[in-house]
Amino acid sequence: MRELLLAVESPVGAWGVAGNEAGLTRIYMPHEPFTPTVGDVSCVTAAATQLTDYFAGVRRTFEVELAPVPATEFQRDVWRALRAIPYGEVLTYGEVAAAVRRPNASRAVGNANHANPWPVIIPCHRVVASTGLGGYGGGVDVKRYLLGLEGVSVAS
């Protein structure tokens, strides 16, 4: 399948939106290298538009088709739980672990967040440590920006 990769600008750098006819395959964070391509894959174009709207502060939810990706059942459970966290709200890693019925799996939730191929679309930035901000695959400054865009302030 032909894959399209579009760049979406944000105040913290360019994000890459990749996908094919099956759906979005990946969102590249600003620190990750990617090379945009030319073409037209409707789900990628729609996702790029929706991300642009999100960064402009006019979109709070995403309606995009996600392509099947290799993942464990636990990762899929965590990603479903992340999609249920409303815009402008956060949960701790422990609260997400409890939500997926694995109350002692806080660290595994962090690993599942790190494996999330669709950051922002599946809002792993909305998961924080019980003691503050916690980590983020795109860096804590990007996480702080995303949460700030949503009106959330979390101590570092």
Active-site choice (41, 124, 127, 147): 124
Residues 83-123 have pLDDT tens digits of: 999 999 999 999 999 999 999 999 999 999 999 999 999 99
CB 93 within 8 A of CB 134: yes
The fold for domain 73-149 equals Arc Repressor Mutant, subunit A (1.10.10)
Residues 34-78 have pLDDT tens digits of: 999 988 899 999 999 999 999 999 999 999 999 999 999 999 999
Calpha distance 96→82 (Å, rounded): 8
- Catalytic site residue 124? yes
pLDDT at 45: 96
Residues in CB range of 109: below 8 A, 6 or more apart:
78, 93, 94, 96, 97, 100, 102, 127
Q: Which part of the chain has CATH 1.10.10.10? A: 73-149
